[in-house]
Every structure is written in structure tokens, then in C-alpha cells.
Amino acid sequence: MNTLPNVDTRRGGISPPHAGFASDVSPEAQGLSTGVSVRYAPDPTKQWFVLRVSYARVNKAHEYLAQEGTETYFPQHHVHKNINGKKTRMLEPLIPNILFAYATPEKIETYVKHTPALSYLSYYYNHFQTDAQGKNPPLTIPYEEMMNFICATSVDNEHIQLVSPEQCRYKSGDLVRVVEGDFRGIVGKVARVRGQQCVVIEIEGLCMVATAYVPTAFIQKI
């Protein structure tokens, strides 16, 4: 599996990528995306939070949290743009203005509500749930789900894309695992997207991501 060449496995500080879909990835995710055995168990005190970042300051927020020792992740993808008449390949966020952070609820609340330097950071709320006060809680992602998402979006493939439910023609709705190729290990649902057979990974309440083309021979029903 080809992943970003600069995906660093150090906790806390990881450089932005040069090629592919990830800019910051935890050691756990690095293990999944390269086929290396996972060496770290999830921390029961931490959760993966989805955070909004205004004014396109995702890199700035990532750097601040990394300096504080907090693991973050934001997927990126390559796009081709005409700049001064020349076609240029460059990286852009796959999900604009979104940063994922792995920390305790108390730590995230400190960043969001009590850190003036992060005034552009806010919670992304779960609009499918309500708490005891009838309010939507911050959106969090189960650990294994997040690892699967990171595994899928950190593959160096330009054809990974955000999709809507209307774009996906599911074959059966059954969960499958990709057993060969660049997306080996990823779990999702088989669908046809823009005429191609893909595996779709959903982060409920946030987004759906489709892989590039995956042959039937590379797919195993779970």
C-alpha cells in the first residue's frame, strides 16, 4: 500500500504530506496503512473528536495541538490546477475546515473553550444525538472506525473522493474487507460510484469516502 512518504509515526508532531491523503497520522494508523502490526492499544481515556477550523487554518491548528502532544489527523488529496497557465499538481484538504483530534474530553474542551490562540477552533456537533439537556453533543468517532478511515484516506491515490448517498449504488449493503491491493485491510460497503466499483467508508454524521476502483477478486464479505 502506497501511503504518504512523510507520514511520521512520532506521537504528537507529524509533518504535512508531500503526496497522498494524510497529513498527520497516529502510530496505530500507520500500522494499518502500511501493513505493519499495530503496536499501540487505544487509550480508554481518549476519543477521536471532529473539530471545525475556520479561516482555512487547519495546518495552524494541527501544529498547535501537536506541540501540546495531541495526535491529530486531516486527510488531503491531490488536485490539478492551472496556475499562470501551467497545470500544477497540489495538495488540498479532502474535507475542508475539519481536523480530527485524539484526546480526552477535558483536553479538547480546554482547546475549544479556554485557549485564546485557538479561537478559530470549535466543536463539530453530532446532529443525530441529544444529551440530557437536549443538546447535540460533540461528534466523536469510535477508535476502530477512525483507524479504518485513516487507513483509507492515507493511501496515495488521486481517485479517493468524498461522495454523497445519491452517488452510491450499493450492491448489497453488506460489509466487506479489501484483501488485496492498495486498500488492503479497509472495511466498508461495495458500491458503484461514477461507473466504478468502489468500497465506501462512512463516518456517520460527517462524510462518506469512496476508494478508487477495487476489483471483485480483491473483496471478501465479512
**Confidence at residue 32, expressed as pLDDT on a 0 to 100 scale:** 40
Whether the CB-CB separation of 73 and 25 falls below 8 Å is answered with yes
**Confidence at residue 1, expressed as pLDDT on a 0 to 100 scale:** 54
Grid cell locating 77 = 488529496
pTM here is 0.82
**Confidence at residue 40, expressed as pLDDT on a 0 to 100 scale:** 56
Distance CA 198, CA 189 (A): 8
SS (H, E, C) the chain: CCECCCCCCCCCCCCCCCCCCECCCCHHHHHHHHCCCCCCCCCCCCEEEEEEEHHHCHHHHHHHHHHCCCEEECEEEEEEEEECCEEEEEEEECCCCEEEEEECHHHHHHHHHHCHHHCCEEECECCCCCCCCCCCCECEECHHHHHHHHHHHCECCCCCEEECHHHEEEEEEEEEEECCCCCCCCEEEEEEECCEEEEEEEECCCEEEECCCCCHHHEEEC
**Confidence at residue 198, expressed as pLDDT on a 0 to 100 scale:** 98
Domain 27-151, CATH number (from 1.10.150, 3.30.70, 1.10.287, 3.40.50): 3.30.70
CATH 3.30.70 occupies which residues in the chain? 27-151
Residue whose C-alpha cell is 454523497: 164
Q: Which parts of the chain have pLDDT scores under 50?
A: 3-24, 26-39
**Confidence at residue 2, expressed as pLDDT on a 0 to 100 scale:** 54
Residue at 6: amino acid letter? N
Distance CA 153, CA 24 (A): 11
